[in-house]
């Protein structure tokens, strides 16, 4: 397979071409993303690490579509899956920008709710090398509630993805039930918890993971949220609760646990990393794309690593995928 984007990275890989999973093609959409929406104001090339009481300069600035869920939606749509978003924004400039960017990325926004009583969420990203400090104003993100979800909508989709558990304060207690309802409606499901900004790491895995087909945390998130001291300890606590557990490990790649087996896959070398913003969401998009196309799980993991690496070749989470990614299988 050759993957081409307008980024600097081109990857040649052999993916198994057997596609055993049979999809019901009569549904109007492939993927429903329920989640948070915000803008990212990204400041790059800082003159020093910012400190309270001092001022530093940034040599570069970008305003982009933020939020883990939106980056995932835009990137899986650019891989070619019909994707729709259910979230909430304010009736303001950032809300309009967010919707416009989703539409530009071929994501259906008919289920995005506009709530004039609140403001669209925003994250200021202070980017240094391959990591960053973020400050987020939740705004409308915190106002999305289970009562905003028309469950009959699930019939139009093959798959449900939810991300950013700790940012969705109005929804997080009900996420297990939402996944369970989606599974009952015949959808497969995926979940990326993301970082807990309050670092309390409270989550009821027993309520959520039995209804999750693919769980996609990163290494630190799974360790903190299971109150463990190491990755093996964390994995042992939860790996049997969901069908597939994939742990993202940045430049070291990923490790996946499925049906009693584990597969470690190194990352693809990008000689010129611009930033790693959205690498995890891009990884998720690659994995779910391959999963819904029916590839075996080891191939899903391989494609996920490729898409994660491609994301690091350009600024922000979606830039590397703004032109349609082409596959030659």
Query: What are the distances in angstroms from CA 51 to CA 142, 229, 232?
Result: 28, 30, 36
Tell me which residue of 147, 148, 273, 162 sits closest to 214, measured CA to CA.
162
Binding track, positions 113-152, relative to ligand ATP; x by CB under 6 A = -----------------x----------------------
Alpha carbons 299 and 240: distance in angstroms, whole number: 21
CB of 211 to ligand ATP, least distance (A): 21
Restricted to residues 213-272, the positions that interact with Mg ion (CB under 5 A) are: 218
Q: Using CB under 6 A, which of 215, 281, 292, 320 touches ligand ATP?
A: 281
Q: Which of 275, 236, 293 is nearest to 71 (CA)?
A: 275
Separation CA 3–CA 9 (nearest Å): 9
Among 273, 298, 315, 327, contact with ligand ATP (rule: CB under 6 A): 273
> Which structure tokens are listed for 127?
């980017």
Q: Least separation, in Å, of the C-beta of 138 and ligand ATP?
A: 17
Which position among 142, 242, 279, 303 is part of the footprint of ligand ATP (CB under 6 A)?
279
CB of 265 to ligand ATP, least distance (A): 8
CB of 300 to ligand ATP, least distance (A): 12
Q: How far is the CB of 266 from ligand ATP (least distance, A)?
A: 8
Look up residue 287 and give its two tokens. 């994995």
CA atoms within 13 A on the CB side of 4: 5
The distance of closest approach from Cβ of residue 213 to Mg ion in the complex, given in angstroms and rounded to an integer, is 18
CB nearer to Mg ion: pick between 139 and 280: 280
Total number of residues that touch ligand ATP (CB under 6 A): 24
Mark the segment that binds ligand ATP (CB under 6 A) among 17-25, 50-58, 177-185, 305-313: 305-313
Which of Mg ion, ligand ATP, none has residue 309 at its interface (CB below 5 to 8 Å by kind)?
ligand ATP
Between the alpha carbon of residue 185 and those of residues 67, 84, 181, the distances in Å are 27, 17, 6
Closer to Mg ion at the Cβ: 165 or 257? 165
Tokens of 213: 């087909």
8 Å CB contact between 240 and 215: no
Q: Which residues, at least 6 apart from 45, have a Cβ–Cβ distance to it below 8 Å?
A: 58, 59, 60
Nearest to 38 by CA among 132, 104, 102: 102
When the beta carbons of 118 and 270 are compared against ligand ATP, the nearer one is 270
The 3-class SS string of 80-140 reads: CCCEEEECEEECCHHHHHHHHHHHHCCEECCCCEEECCCCCEEEEEEEECCEEEEEEECHH
Q: Say if CB 116 and CB 108 are below 8 A apart.
A: no
Nearer to ligand ATP, 118 or 305 (CB): 305
- Is residue 280 within the footprint of Mg ion (CB under 5 A)? yes
46 vs 273 by CB, closer to ligand ATP: 273
Question: Which of 17/269 has CB closer to ligand ATP?
Answer: 269
Residue 283 binds to ligand ATP (criterion: CB under 6 A): yes
Kindly identify the residues of this chain, within the stretch 209-238, that bind ligand ATP according to CB under 6 A. 218
Please tell me whether residue 5 binds ligand ATP under the rule CB under 6 A: no
Does the CA dihedral 163-164-166-167 come out positive or negative?
negative
Show the site string, 246-265: x = touches ligand ATP by CB under 6 A, - = not.
--xxxx-xx-----------
Binding site for Mg ion (CB under 5 A): 218, 280
């Amino acid at each position: 397979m050759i993957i081409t984007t307008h980024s600097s990275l081109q990857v040649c890989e052999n993916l198994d071409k057997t596609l055993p999973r049979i999809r019901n093609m009569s549904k109007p959409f492939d993927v429903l993303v329920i989640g948070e929406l915000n803008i990212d104001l990204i400041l790059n090339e800082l003159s020093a690490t910012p400190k309270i009481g001092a001022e530093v300069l940034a040599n570069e600035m970008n305003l982009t579509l933020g939020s883990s869920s939106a980056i995932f939606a835009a990137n899986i749509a650019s891989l070619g899956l019909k994707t729709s978003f259910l979230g909430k924004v304010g009736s303001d400039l950032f809300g309009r920008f967010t919707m416009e960017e989703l539409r530009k990325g071929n994501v259906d926004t008919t289920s995005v709710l506009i709530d004039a009583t609140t403001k669209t969420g925003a994250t200021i990203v202070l980017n240094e090398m391959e990591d960053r400090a973020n400050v987020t104003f939740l705004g409308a993100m915190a106002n999305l509630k289970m009562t905003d979800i028309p469950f009959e909508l699930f019939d139009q989709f093959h798959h449900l993805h939810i991300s950013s558990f700790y940012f969705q304060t109005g929804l997080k207690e009900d996420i297990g039930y939402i996944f369970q309802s989606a599974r009952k409606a015949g959808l497969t499901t995926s979940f990326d918890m993301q970082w807990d900004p309050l670092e309390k790491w409270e989550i009821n895995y027993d309520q959520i993971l039995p209804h999750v087909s693919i769980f996609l945390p990163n290494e630190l998130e799974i360790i903190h949220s299971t109150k463990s001291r190491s990755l093996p300890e964390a994995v042992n606590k939860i790996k049997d609760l969901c069908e597939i557990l994939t742990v993202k490990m940045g430049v070291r790649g990923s490790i996946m646990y499925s049906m009693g087996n584990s597969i470690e896959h190194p990352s693809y070398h990008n000689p010129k990393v611009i930033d790693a913003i959205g690498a995890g969401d891009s990884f998720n998009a690659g994995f779910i794309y391959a999963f819904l196309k029916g590839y075996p799980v080891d191939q899903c993991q391989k494609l996920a690593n490729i898409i994660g690496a491609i994301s690091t070749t350009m600024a922000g989470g979606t830039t590397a995928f703004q032109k349609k990614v082409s596959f030659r299988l």
